[in-house]
Copies of this chain bind each other. A is one copy, B any other.
């Protein structure tokens, strides 16, 4: 997970959350904001936000705070989402279909460009204009489409095998929806969609 600037990964992980809040502020036509206001919205202390941002530069002005559009653009560049990342989805079942139809990717720097499944009856099916390919085509397609980012939407028993194939095909970042930990080489990123983490966060507050 290391990078040349030695920024703690937990700090990097908060930048997309700041970016999401700033996008919302942009949509609300806010011109300026402060670490205090951002913190209020996110349930994070303003000191934490200032400290996190200070790893990357000086973005605010004393007195006026942060220009929302400027800070938004700076964080987009820092996270490398001032471009569009082509993505692969493996698994064309209910979950894979839902992911391909998800409308949250394109406005924030990502686009699903190919879908794979190992079930012959799913191959050739079209999902949101994308034809499902067999797993045998994975390496060829990913290379042709310059795909470095992939999502795993297969049953948990198959997740590690799929991860291995993705890494072999040159994928450098994997978002795993299956409820199981996967192993990858140290130079490959993995993140998990884990709904239970969010549910348990909320039940803390319930009786």
Interface set of A (CB-CB < 8 Å, partner B): 1, 3, 8-10, 12-13, 15-17, 19-20, 24, 43-45, 48, 78-81, 85, 87, 93-95, 97-99, 101-105, 108-110, 148-149, 151, 153, 156, 172-173, 175, 179, 181, 189, 191-207
Contact = CB atoms under 8 A, between A and B. Distances in A.
B85 A199 contact: yes
B110 A78 contact: no
Nearest to A43: B9
Nearest to A12: B204
A92 to B, nearest CB: 10
A151 B12 CA distance: 28
Given A16-B201, A204-B3, A193 B191 contact: no
Contacts of A79: 200-201, 203-204
Copies in the complex: 2
A53 to B, nearest CB: 14
A175 B193 contact: no
Contacts of A151: 195
A203 to B, nearest CB: 4
The 7 tightest CB contacts between A and B, nearest first, are: A104-B179, A191-B198, A95-B98, A173-B202, A16-B200, A189-B202, A94-B98
A200 B19 contact: yes
A206 B173 contact: yes
B199 A1 contact: no
